[in-house]
């Protein structure tokens, strides 16, 4: 694999539910190290596509390659990915610090290595002062920052985010965007963000893939999409920035 090999490559992905095509011949290459958003209205197939990349769901047809390796049939745990979903999953009985350390602890990494890694991540997500709290003692935004730190602790090659800020109010969402951008600048992990929020995608992404009715409508930088929408759908969808 060379640097030009896409970190994630989806080719001719099809996924049907009954007669309904949730993914209708989707092909998409996601470059290494970038933050790519999958943007589209509710029901456009974003989560289905992300789940296929994660290995949480199978395709009816098509392939998924991660870091040059065909991962068809490979379990999520063996794909080298970290996830963060809209509804955070944390161990309620563990402190913030122990939650972030969890993935390293079960891998039995040396204690000093775990401590250093967790310190660094808590610092980057602004939770150093909250490390001895329990998840219930954090705000929604702080919990999602903890979830990001936890997902990144094990050095995944790919970070997959499905509407991670969706349940939060606009002010907190805007703040989390800044944290995610900062995190991405520091850690450089290839990140795929699913969102239905045009403003969020335009603000944060290196590249955006626009989905509609299970098909990719356009892929490009925020500027390319905004200045040169390839279809009426893209123009209308991006035009409604709130
Ligand atoms: P998005 O994340 O863009 O909102 P999804 O990928 O979740 O969209 O869903 C795309 C379409 O596929 C939707 O119409 C949804 O109802 C349908 N769908 C998704 N998962 C299932 C499922 N397990 N069974 C039936 N239909 C599904
Ligand atoms: Mg979804």
The Å distance, Cα 135 to ligand 2 centre, comes to: 25
- Closest ligand by atom to 43 CA: 1
Neighbours of 25 (CB within 10 A): 14
The Å distance, Cα 43 to ligand 2 centre, comes to: 7
Atom of ligand 1 nearest to the CA of 194: 2
Q: For the chain, how far is it from start to end, CA to CA, in angstroms?
A: 41
Q: How many residues does the chain have?
A: 242
Q: Pocket of ligand 1, candidates 26, 45, 54, 59: which has the most ligand atoms within 8 Å of its Cβ, to mutate?
A: 45
Atom of ligand 1 nearest to the CA of 40: 3
Whether 47 lines ligand 1, by a CB cut-off of 6 Å, is yes
Whether 106 lines ligand 1, by a CB cut-off of 6 Å, is no
SS3 for 70?
strand
SS3 for 169?
coil
Whether 40 lines ligand 1, by a CB cut-off of 6 Å, is yes
The pTM is what?
0.93
CA distance 122 to 153: 10
The Å distance, Cα 120 to ligand 2 centre, comes to: 31
| Residue 89 pLDDT | 75
CA-proximal residue: ligand 1, atom 16 (nearest): 43
Residue 120 neighbours by CB under 8 Å, 6+ apart:
none
Q: Token pair for residue 15?
A: 């996924």
The Å distance, Cα 201 to ligand 2 centre, comes to: 15
CA-proximal residue: ligand 1, atom 7 (nearest): 47
Whether 195 lines ligand 1, by a CB cut-off of 6 Å, is no
Instruction: Give me the residues paired with residue 210 across strands.
Output: 39, 218
Find out whether 189 and 206 touch, Cβ atoms under 8 Å: no
Convert 50-61 to b/e letters by CB count within 10 Å (16 or more is b): bbbbbbbeebee
Whether 126 lines ligand 1, by a CB cut-off of 6 Å, is no
What pLDDT tens digit does each residue of the chain (242 aa) get?
Answer: 667 889 999 999 999 999 999 999 999 999 999 999 999 999 999 999 999 999 999 999 999 999 999 998 899 989 988 888 877 678 999 999 999 999 999 889 999 999 999 999 999 999 999 999 999 999 999 999 999 999 999 899 999 999 998 878 889 999 999 999 988 999 889 999 999 999 999 999 999 999 999 999 999 999 999 999 999 999 999 985 54
Whether 48 lines ligand 1, by a CB cut-off of 6 Å, is yes
Going by C-alpha positions, the residue among 68, 100, 115 that lies closest to residue 183 is 100
Report the relative pairing of strands 69-70 and 61-66 from DSSP bridges.
antiparallel
Find out whether 204 and 35 touch, Cβ atoms under 8 Å: yes
* Alpha-carbon 96 to chain mean position: 21
Find out whether 226 and 218 touch, Cβ atoms under 8 Å: no
């Amino acid at each position: 694999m060379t640097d030009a090999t896409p970190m994630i490559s989806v080719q001719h992905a099809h996924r049907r539910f009954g007669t309904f095509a949730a993914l209708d011949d989707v092909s998409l290459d996601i470059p290494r190290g970038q933050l790519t958003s999958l943007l589209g209205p509710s029901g456009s197939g974003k989560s289905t596509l992300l789940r296929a990349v994660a290995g949480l769901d199978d395709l009816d047809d098509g392939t998924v390659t991660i870091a040059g390796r065909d991962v068809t049939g490979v379990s999520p745990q063996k794909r080298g990915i970290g996830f963060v979903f809209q509804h955070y999953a944390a161990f309620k009985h563990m402190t913030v610090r122990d939650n972030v350390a969890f993935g390293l602890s079960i891998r039995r990494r040396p204690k000093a290595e775990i401590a250093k890694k967790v310190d660094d991540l808590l610092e980057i997500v602004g939770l150093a002062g909250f490390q001895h709290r329990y998840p219930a003692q954090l705000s929604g935004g702080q919990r999602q920052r903890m979830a990001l730190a936890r997902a990144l602790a094990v050095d995944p090659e790919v970070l997959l985010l499905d509407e991670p800020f969706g349940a939060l109010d606009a002010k907190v969402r805007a703040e989390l965007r800044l944290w995610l951008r900062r995190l991405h600048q520091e850690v450089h992990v290839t990140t795929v963000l699913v969102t239905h929020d045009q403003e969020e995608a335009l603000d944060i992404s290196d590249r955006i893939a626009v989905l509609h009715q299970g098909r990719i409508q356009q892929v490009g930088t925020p500027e390319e999409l905004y200045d040169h929408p390839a279809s009426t759908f893209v123009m209308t969808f991006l035009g409604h920035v709130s």
